[in-house]
Structure 1
């Protein structure tokens, strides 16, 4: 449906943009919904379209601003399709490359594994980073984003909780 070109009373860019937005938002949203079928993607397309419109407000033709916005929306959709295709292609390549990768879990007695599973995810991750990945306290602090002293304290407490869990699950000899 043809719409009149938005004009602002005083040449105010914000007023022109607001008029464009009010006149074309629903049309652009319907356009995007028909092409994507997913409301969240359609909303992103419209938002990106109006972002371009705001940045290039001076480039929007006064005679056919709605058509110009549809052209921008087409380009935004094309960019999203290309990005999605690249993501799918990358995932396929990674699946192929990693199909031969093997994960080797350390052998541990059943009691040790059971005690380990009783710990919080945070404690488990701390202990894994040190025991399985071989991180030092300095490296652990970097991975956790805290000081080396804080990392040592967290590790010490995790080890204490692990030892307590082992004592509870292991029969006294």
Structure 2
């Protein structure tokens, strides 16, 4: 790389950077986009330094380059946005919305914290691990006849805190909203 070419670029950059950045700032919504347009404009200038006009023609030429760079950025933004929209639609069709489950889990977790450690343990094994009373009895080293009423009482206490029974364990791929009396036909 010749020292003369680099010096020419540095002078051009120093003399016109503010003008090109201002041009880009006035035409973009975000300052970081303007910075990208400005950087890409001066990349073109570096590559085409031999073609840059001198004198009063320099700034309009730079604005022309910046205008084309900006158009390329806008096309790229539209392509990325279209791709993002398409991916969101495809994901919405294939991946269920888990937000209701997250809210319910948070409510159940908060209510569980208000229960005794014994109730929490039996409910966690049942609700979170999906174990049946006989399996819970095995994990806890108790008889099934002890676990069944303990689980029943713990569920009743949790129901009192939540106002309803929590959903059974596992993944629900489809969710059918329950109609209230007012909404039922």
TM-score norm. by structure 1 comes to 0.53
Q: Shift of residue 103 of structure 1?
A: 4.8
Root mean square deviation of aligned Cα: 2.8
Query: Aligned-pair distance for 1:113?
Result: 8.4
Q: Which residue of 1 aligns with 2:166?
A: none
Matched, 1:77 2:70: yes
Q: Following TM superposition, by how much is the alpha carbon of 1:32 offset from its aligned partner in structure 2, in angstroms?
A: 0.7
Give 1:78 shift: 0.4
Residue 37 (structure 2) pairs with residue 30 (structure 1): no
Q: Distance in 1 between matches of 2:53 and 2:91?
A: 51
Give the structure with higher Rg (CA).
2
Q: TM-score, normalised by structure 2?
A: 0.50
Deviations for 1:102-148, whole angstroms, at most 9, x for unmatched residues?
3599xxx8449869xxxxxxxxxxxxxxxxxxxxxxxxxxxxxxxxx
Unaligned runs of 5+ in 1: 1-10, 116-169
- How many residue pairs match? The answer is 106
1:3 paired residue number:
none
* 4+ residue segments displaced more than 3 Å: 102-105, 109-115, 170-173
Following TM superposition, by how much is the alpha carbon of 1:20 offset from its aligned partner in structure 2, in angstroms? 0.7
The separation in 2 between residues aligned to 1:57 and 1:104, in whole angstroms, is 53
Match of 1:102 in 2: 95
Matches within 5 A, 1:2-81: 12-63=4-55, 64-81=57-74
